[in-house]
Chain A
Amino acid sequence: MAVTLSAPELVPSTEVEVHAPREGEARLREIVDMYYPFLWRSLRRLGVDEASVDDAAQAVLLVVARRLDDIAYGAERSFVFQTAARVASDHRRARARAPRAEPLDAVLETASDGLRPDDLVDQRRRRALLDELLDELDEEHRTVFVLFELEELTVTQIAEVLGVPRGTAASRLRRAHELFENAARRVQARRARTGGAR
């Protein structure tokens, strides 16, 4: 499947063309049904913090709604992911400029799947570790890594989603694996030095 999309952009709604409501609404609904969890997870793993992920997902959907006519049938996932990558990139840059602690409320509101408090804390620690390790990867490698390891796409599918040759996707993935494992080794060594403190 060839992806012919140009890089999605966030533009002001002054340029929005209103679509034929029923057709557009139905397609948008279909995209949300099929890809919202994928979008949400992708944003999280691409570096959007928990407190902001709903807003970021909405930012992506606004772009999707605006560009609906430009999205080829079958290329929805690719468009959603590329837009998510861009929104996440903006978010990370903004966070770097003005770091902020996650509000406790946002943390507590997240789905805990009925976990016991200890398990919940443990789960959050492991996810924080994942975020820390992913932060060690640059954008290009992080993107490929997330799609392969966490979304379980094949290299061919990743190449389609990103609109790059398969060989490029494969070499990025190899490098991403190295970077991630190296980062993990550093964390493990640090923990060993500090007696397992997290």
Chain B
Amino acid sequence: MTRRLSVTSDLDIVRDALASARDDAPPPGAGDRALRAALAAAAGASVVVATKAAGASVVGSAAGAGVATSTSAAGAKGVATMALAKWSVALAVAASSAVVVVGVEHASRPPPQVALSASVAPAPVDRRPRIARRAEELGAAFAATALPAPVVVAEVPGQRPSLPKDAPRAAASSRPAASPRPLAEELTALSAIRDGVASDPVLALVGIARYRAAHPSGALLEEVEALEVEALAARGDREAVARAGRSFLARRPTSVHAPHVRELVGRAVVERDLLEDAVRP
């Protein structure tokens, strides 16, 4: 029978070193904190919903712990919680700028062939680069949380399409009450996640789980999801990159991050196939 070094070794430093670990323990309450965080993250995580009849898989983001739990308890996993991520951006944008609302709507739908009624404004085509639109969206969301309502957020000069004069005000008045803190917190979290992707992808993934739990429909969810794909790529987890990346692209085909995510997915798939070829007998 093998005996322990702590008993058999004639070296003091071996016995000392091993003995030092004997009373090493997590700080009080650490387990409870970790459990709460894991439960919150699991409940607030995105949910895969397989729509078997259509033969397709739809991925959406749960609205938060409460929603995910109640949906699950009802036996209809995640069905009611789909696609909220998309609207989180849309809502944040709608709160501040009708210009971007039109842009987002236009991006996801073909332009109408016929005006429905005289009172409906025609959907102007926003021809700016996507990155400019996203930058404005985020800037608008930040301004919307930082300034008292109702506020019309500044548009890009010379690019404002012709909208009914009351459109921005109407959009602003429907804005949910927002406090400046959440977005500042989101920005801080995003910054930490971005740093983590470069230095320690696992901790970045933890940060992402925490972000999702704290901000299930956060204004920066799109950026965080893109960083998630990047963190997985940094870990070398090719299967997960392919899954998360495809999910991202399916839900956010027009995202400013889509080209980068597409590239990561492509690289992961190619590397995986090369590896499989290499080990095939």
Q: A11-B239, A62-B42, A98-B198 are in contact. Are A111 and B25 (CB under 8 A)?
A: yes
Nearest Cβ on chain B to A165's Cβ, whole angstroms = 15
Q: Please give, as numbers and ranges, the residues of chain A lying within 8 Å of B17 by CB-CB distance.
A: 126-127, 129-130, 133, 184
Find out whether the CB atom of B68 lies under 8 angstroms from the CB atom of A18.
yes
Q: A21-B73, A41-B25 are in contact. Are A54 and B30 (CB under 8 A)?
A: yes
* Tally of contacts, chain A with chain B, CB under 8 A: 220
Number of residues of chain B lying within 8 A (CB) of chain A: 68
Q: Please give, as numbers and ranges, the residues of chain A lying within 8 Å of B237 by CB-CB distance.
A: 9-11
B69: nearest residue on chain A (CB-CB)?
Answer: A21
Chain A binding surface, main DSSP class: helix
Nearest Cβ on chain B to A66's Cβ, whole angstroms = 7
A12 within 8 A of B: yes
A170: nearest residue on chain B (CB-CB)?
Answer: B2
A17-43 vs B, Cβ < 8 Å mask (1 yes, 0 no): 111110011001100110011001100
In whole angstroms, what is the CA distance A124 to B7 when docked? 22
Stretch at the interface among B137-145, B148-156, B168-176, B240-248: B240-248
In whole angstroms, what is the CA distance A187 to B208 when docked? 41
B26 within 8 A of A: yes
A159 within 8 A of B: no
B168-208 vs A, Cβ < 8 Å mask (1 yes, 0 no): 00000000000000000000000000000011111101101
Of the residues B39, B69, B240, contact of A28 by C-beta under 8 Å: B39
Q: Please give, as numbers and ranges, the residues of chain A lying within 8 Å of B88 by CB-CB distance.
A: none
Find out whether the CB atom of A177 lies under 8 angstroms from the CB atom of B5.
yes
Chain A interface residue count: which class?
35 or more
Find out whether the CB atom of A56 lies under 8 angstroms from the CB atom of B4.
no
B11-35 vs A, Cβ < 8 Å mask (1 yes, 0 no): 1011011111101111110111111
Stretch at the interface among B43-51, B116-124, B260-268: B43-51
In whole angstroms, what is the CA distance A18 to B151 when docked? 39
Q: Please give, as numbers and ranges, the residues of chain A lying within 8 Å of B219 by CB-CB distance.
A: none
A65 within 8 A of B: yes
B77 within 8 A of A: yes
Find out whether the CB atom of B45 lies under 8 angstroms from the CB atom of A13.
yes
Find out whether the CB atom of A58 lies under 8 angstroms from the CB atom of B13.
no
In whole angstroms, what is the CA distance A38 to B47 when docked? 30
In whole angstroms, what is the CA distance A24 to B27 when docked? 25
Interface residue ranges, B against A (CB under 8 Å): 2, 4-6, 9, 11, 13-14, 16-21, 23-28, 30-35, 37-39, 41-43, 45-48, 59, 62, 68-69, 71-73, 77-78, 198-203, 205-206, 208-209, 212, 225, 228-229, 232, 235, 237, 239-240, 243-244, 247-248
Interface residue ranges, A against B (CB under 8 Å): 9-21, 24-25, 28-29, 32-33, 36-37, 40-41, 44-45, 52-59, 61-62, 64-66, 87, 90-91, 94-95, 97-98, 100, 109-111, 113, 123, 126-127, 129-130, 133, 148-150, 152, 155, 170, 173-174, 177, 180-181, 184-185, 187-188, 191
19 contacts between A and B (CB under 8 A): A10-B205, A11-B237, A12-B208, A21-B43, A32-B34, A33-B31, A37-B25, A52-B203, A57-B30, A61-B38, A62-B38, A65-B38, A126-B17, A126-B19, A130-B20, A133-B17, A173-B2, A184-B14, A188-B11
With A18-B42, A65-B41 given, name 19 new contacts (CB 8 A).
Answer: A11-B240, A11-B243, A12-B243, A14-B248, A15-B243, A16-B48, A19-B72, A25-B39, A32-B32, A54-B26, A54-B30, A54-B33, A59-B203, A61-B38, A66-B42, A129-B17, A150-B18, A180-B14, A191-B13
